[in-house]
């Protein structure tokens, strides 16, 4: 039974668990349930990827109604890959969450907190699984709403304004998506993504369809924090509770990027997007500006969480560059970077979370001397930083490698220059912290290393950063077959 309903259970288990967790008594029980749920999701996601790794497609008809009349879950390598990413990050974040959450969230809100976390997880997984564009919107909103609430739980009052800003931009984005869906529906009469794709050739030239496409793009771009629609992201990540920053930074934008890829390549098709509408002439410059400007801004941040958030904006730029190149290699690079960036940002934010846990601040000057006080944490931070820079043997290198290769294939020199500059800037902002942590005298004489339950997940992710940077067979092969599939070829 599990085998046939695999793709569905992945979404429904956290969804069912959320209301149960909400009424559990505050304490460690909600955490335990959440942990178990996310672990089972991870198992399911692995099984799912296993099933579709050979290029097959699983179609699951919800309610037993055949698509396009009913809602369909349509799983191929791409979905499974992203779902695995989300479930994996959740599963690693949760062991970390236990202490961190107890420290940052009032006790009487614990069960609600985990409930919202599960809802967010369920929403993100729902987005990755579905083959119905409106269903996607619904789950997008589930994840968004819960993340607004979760972000607002940060200790500083700025968390409130950050959540508010995110809410507004996010809702405008969602409304744009809604408009896009509506217009697409008006000319095709269907909401099923595969069916949409099949019916599009008849209406490809219409202005309505072009508009629908643009609106969907802009909507998703807001959720993805594409420059210059990224304004919500730095604050949201900087002021959210540690666990939420880790989880969202590693998953939310990745899922949005997945949606973007889905919409461009599966639904509307590369030929409409790139040959008729030339969206790469919009995507590539924006992505390039994002890479450079966000990295530049990151250099001048004194709140390290905020700095990493700006770095996320830059990293999203890389993902977009890969999409904009629109070749098999470019897409592979994008998909790889989805995964790899999740790993590195999770590591970095986890390390920061541990610092916050022990020191109570993530301001640059408060990190002075931490290299000695918290050697494991800071070593992990350095490792994540190296990965972010793109040093070989780390995952960051692999995705940049493919990105540059894709640029070589096209002969786009300026793009390579952009990637190079981005990496250089990354060195600068990462090194500021390394320098402060290792080579400045400490101001906290009584700070000690973070507890083991924070360190273990952190190092697990750090090791993953290196493992997937060395043994790339899994990630590269999956990304490549996904890219080929998206471009319409055989995987």
CA atoms within 13 A on the CB side of 4: 4
- Kindly tell me the number of DSSP H helices and DSSP E strands found in the chain: 21, 2
Residue 346 CB contacts under 8 Å (≥ 6 apart), including other chains: 89, 92, 93, 246, 249, 250, 461
445 Cβ neighbours under 8 A, 6+ residues apart: none
Cα separation, 468 vs 463, in Å, equals: 8
Number of residues forming the site for another protein (CB under 8 A): 111
Phi, psi of 363 (to 5 degrees): -75, 150
Give the x/- contact pattern for another protein in 16-55, rule: CB under 8 A: x-xxx-xx--------------------------------
Q: For 463, what's the count of Cα atoms within 13 Å in the CB-facing half-sphere?
A: 8
**Joined tokens for residue 81:** 């890959």
Q: Please report how close the Cβ of residue 131 comes to another protein at its closest, in angstroms.
A: 11
Q: Is the peptide bond before 68 cis (omega within 30 degrees of 0)?
A: yes
Q: In terms of CB distance, is 453 or 463 closer to another protein?
A: 463
Question: Counting contacts by CB under 8 A, is residue 215 touching another protein?
Answer: yes
- Give yes or no for a contact between 329 and 434, defined as CB atoms under 8 angstroms apart: no
* Candidate list 10, 89, 454, 476; residue touching another protein; CB under 8 A: 476
Specify the stretch interacting with another protein by CB under 8 A; choose among 32-40, 49-57, 201-209, 443-451.
Answer: 201-209
Q: Which of 38, 40, 100, 135 contacts another protein by CB under 8 A? A: 135
* Residue carrying structure tokens 């070829």: 489
Q: Which of 142, 222, 240, 370 binds another protein (CB under 8 A)?
A: 142
- Token output for 164: 């508010």
Instruction: Find the part of the chain contacting another protein (CB under 8 A) among 171-179, 245-253, 259-267, 270-278.
Output: 171-179
Among 39, 178, 270, 460, binds another protein (CB under 8 A): 178
**Residue 189 binds another protein (CB under 8 A):** yes
Minimum Å gap between C-beta 199 and another protein is 7
Between 67 and 324, CB nearer to another protein: 67
Q: In the window 103-132, what residues touch another protein (CB under 8 A)?
A: 106, 108-109, 112-113, 115-116, 119, 122-123, 126, 132
Alpha-carbon torsion angle 339, 344, 350, 354, nearest 10: 170
The nearest distance, CB 16 to another protein, in angstroms, is 5
Name which of 256 and 454 has its Cβ closer to another protein: 256
Tokens of 407: 């640029």
The tokens describing 376, both together, are: 């494991």
The whole-angstrom separation of Cα 58 and Cα 5 is 10
Between residues 114 and 454, which has the closer beta carbon with respect to another protein? 114
For residue 204, state whether it binds another protein (rule: CB under 8 A).
Answer: no
Bridging pattern class, strands 58-61 and 72-75: antiparallel
Residue 154 binds another protein (CB under 8 A): no
- Which CB sits closer to another protein, 164 or 376? 164
* Residue from 32, 43, 53, 214 in contact with another protein (CB under 8 A): 214
Q: Is 472 in the site for another protein (CB under 8 A)?
A: yes
Structure tokens at 296: 């530049």
> Given the complex with another protein, which of 97 and 181 has the nearer CB atom?
181
Residues 305-324, interacting with another protein (CB under 8 A): none
Nearer to another protein, 15 or 42 (CB): 15
By CB under 8 A, tell whether 231 contacts another protein.
no
Helix or strand run (H / E) with residue 57: none
For residues 336 to 375, the per-residue mask of contacts with another protein, x marking binding by CB under 8 A and - elsewhere, is ----------------------------------------
- 20 versus 47: smaller Cβ distance to another protein: 20
x/- letters, 62..81, toward another protein (CB under 8 A): xxxx--xxxx----------
Least gap, CB of 64 to another protein (angstroms): 3
Cβ 40 to another protein shortest distance, Å: 15
Residue from 182, 201, 228, 489 binding another protein (CB under 8 A):
182
The single residue among 75, 153, 313, 486 that binds another protein, judged by CB under 8 A, is 153
Alpha helices in 360-472 (DSSP H): 370-373, 375-389, 395-410, 413-439, 452-470
Footprint on residues 396-455 left by another protein (CB under 8 A): 398, 401, 404-405, 408-409, 416, 420-421, 423-424, 427-428, 431, 435, 438-441
Measured distance CA(311)–CA(336) in Å, rounded = 17
Reading the block at residue 175, the tokens are 């409304």
Q: Does the footprint of another protein cover residue 59 (CB under 8 A)?
A: no
Give the span between the Cα atoms of 94 and 72, in whole angstroms.
30
**How far apart are the C-alpha atoms of 423 and 416, rounded to whole Å?**
11
Report d(CA 264, CA 142) in Å as an integer: 23
Cβ atoms of 181 and 134 within 8 Å: the answer is yes
């Amino acid at each position: 039974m599990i085998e046939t309903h695999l793709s569905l259970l992945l979404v429904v288990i956290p969804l069912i668990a959320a209301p149960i967790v909400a009424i559990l008594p505050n304490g460690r029980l909600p955490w335990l349930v959440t942990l178990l749920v996310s672990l089972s999701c991870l198992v399911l996601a692995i099984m799912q990827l296993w099933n579709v790794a050979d290029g097959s497609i699983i179609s699951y008809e919800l309610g037993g109604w055949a698509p396009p009349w009913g809602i369909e879950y349509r799983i191929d390598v791409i979905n499974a890959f992203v779902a695995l990413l989300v479930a994996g990050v959740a599963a690693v974040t949760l062991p970390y969450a236990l202490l961190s959450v107890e420290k940052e969230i009032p006790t009487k809100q614990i069960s609600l907190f985990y409930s919202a976390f599960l809802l967010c997880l369920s929403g993100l997984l729902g987005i990755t699984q579905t083959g119905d564009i409106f269903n996607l919107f619904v789950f997008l909103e589930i994840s968004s709403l819960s993340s607004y609430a979760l972000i607002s739980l940060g200790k500083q009052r700025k968390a409130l304004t950050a959540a508010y800003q995110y809410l507004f931009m996010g809702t405008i984005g969602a409304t744009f998506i809604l408009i896009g869906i509506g217009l697409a529906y008006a000319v095709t009469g269907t909401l099923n993504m595969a069916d949409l794709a099949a019916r599009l050739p008849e209406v490809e030239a219409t202005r309505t369809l072009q508009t629908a496409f643009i609106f969907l793009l802009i909507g998703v771009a807001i959720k993805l924090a594409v420059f210059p629609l990224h304004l919500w992201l730095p604050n949201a990540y900087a002021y959210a509770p540690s666990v939420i920053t880790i989880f969202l930074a590693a998953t939310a934008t990745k899922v949005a990027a997945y949606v973007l890829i889905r919409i461009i390549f599966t639904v509307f098709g590369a030929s409409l997007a790139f040959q008729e509408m030339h969206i790469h002439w919009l995507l590539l410059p924006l992505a390039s500006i994002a890479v450079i400007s966000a990295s530049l801004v990151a250099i001048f941040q004194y709140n390290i969480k905020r700095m990493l958030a700006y770095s996320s904006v830059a990293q999203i730029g890389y993902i977009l560059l890969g999409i904009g190149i629109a070749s098999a290699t470019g897409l592979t690079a994008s998909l790889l970077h989805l995964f790899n960036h999740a790993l590195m940002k999770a590591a970095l934010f986890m390390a920061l979370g541990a610092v916050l846990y022990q020191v109570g601040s993530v301001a640059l000057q408060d990190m002075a001397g931490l290299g000695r006080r918290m050697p494991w944490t800071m070593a992990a931070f350095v490792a994540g930083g190296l990965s972010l820079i793109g040093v070989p043997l780390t995952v960051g290198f692999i995705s940049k490698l493919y990105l540059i290769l894709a640029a070589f294939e096209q002969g786009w020199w300026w793009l390579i220059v952009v990637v190079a500059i981005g990496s250089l800037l990354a060195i600068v902002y990462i090194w500021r912290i390394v320098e402060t942590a290792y080579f400045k005298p400490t101001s906290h004489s009584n700070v000690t290393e973070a507890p083991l339950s924070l360190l273990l997940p952190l190092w697990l992710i750090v090791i993953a950063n290196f493992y997937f940077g060395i043994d790339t067979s899994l990630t590269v092969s999956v990304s490549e077959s996904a890219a080929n599939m998206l471009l319409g070829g055989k995987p």
